[in-house]
Amino acid sequence: RAGLAVSGQRVAAGRLGPAHVLQGAEIEELVRLATRAPTAYHLQNWRFIAVRTPQTKARLRRVAQDQPKVTEAAVTFIVCGLLPDHDTLAERLGPFVETGLMSAHTVAGWREGARLQYRDPTTARDEAVRSATFGAATLIHAAEALGLVSGPMVGFDPEGVRREFGLRPNEVPVLLVAVGRAAPGNWPQKPRRPLAEVLDIL
């Protein structure tokens, strides 16, 4: 699929059908679509850990405030942002250079720009969180487009997740996203603030 068909009525599902299973190819398609999200300098600084076996779900639930969605979902993704690494850009932009769409000189300029921009640890961490959030949001809409439901979660112990799943020092666990089929009892989409309160057109 080249794009996503999104209804505009995405709902965060609190209840998921525990009998539903997602195959490896379906999980790969969700993440393929999620990685169409933007990242600064084309860093693609994210990782998606698909937790789908009963054993790994139980481990995650223990460090996620015992939230039932973790084990009820067909798969719960741990969405991590990676601290920006300017040295990855030559490889990640290499195919673009090979096609002639970008020059090696431009890549070198982007690399230096990223090096300077992310020298500050706080700025680097902010970028990791931003990239993971873009990826998670796109994953949520990808799930909807594929006829699934999702439930994003921030109620987890980051250090517990880091320990249980062997995250590397440059990986920041940002969000959990439970994906599967809806179970009975979910609320409809809750009211949104009026556009007049959230939009300024200047």
Please tell me which residue, 183 or 65, carries the higher pLDDT value: 65
Tell me the C-alpha distance between 34 and 142, whole Å: 7
Tell me the C-alpha distance between 98 and 120, whole Å: 32
CB–CB of 84/127 below 8 Å? yes
Has residue 3 got a pLDDT over 80? no
Instruction: List pLDDT tens digits, range 23-76.
Output: 999 999 999 999 999 999 999 999 999 999 999 999 999 999 999 999 999 999
Six token digits for residue 59: 């481990």
pTM of the model: 0.90
For residue 12, the cross-strand partners are: 150
Sheet holding 75-82, edge to edge: 46-51, 75-82, 171-180, 149-153
Quote the pLDDT of residue 18.
77
CA 182 vs. chain centroid, Å, equals 20
- The vertex-86 CA angle with 2 and 168, nearest 5°, equals 85
Element (H, E) at 113: helix 104-117
Q: Please identify which residue in the block is written with the tokens 């979660």.
A: 153
Quote the pLDDT of residue 4.
54
CA dihedral 175, 83, 128, 144 (to 10 degrees): -60
Residue 9: band (very low, low, confident or very high) from pLDDT cuts 50, 70, 90: low
Distances (CA, A) of 188 to 30, 102, 133: 23, 46, 23
Tell me the C-alpha distance between 171 and 83, whole Å: 7
CA 92 vs. chain centroid, Å, equals 19
What phi, psi does 16 have (nearest 5°)? -125, 150
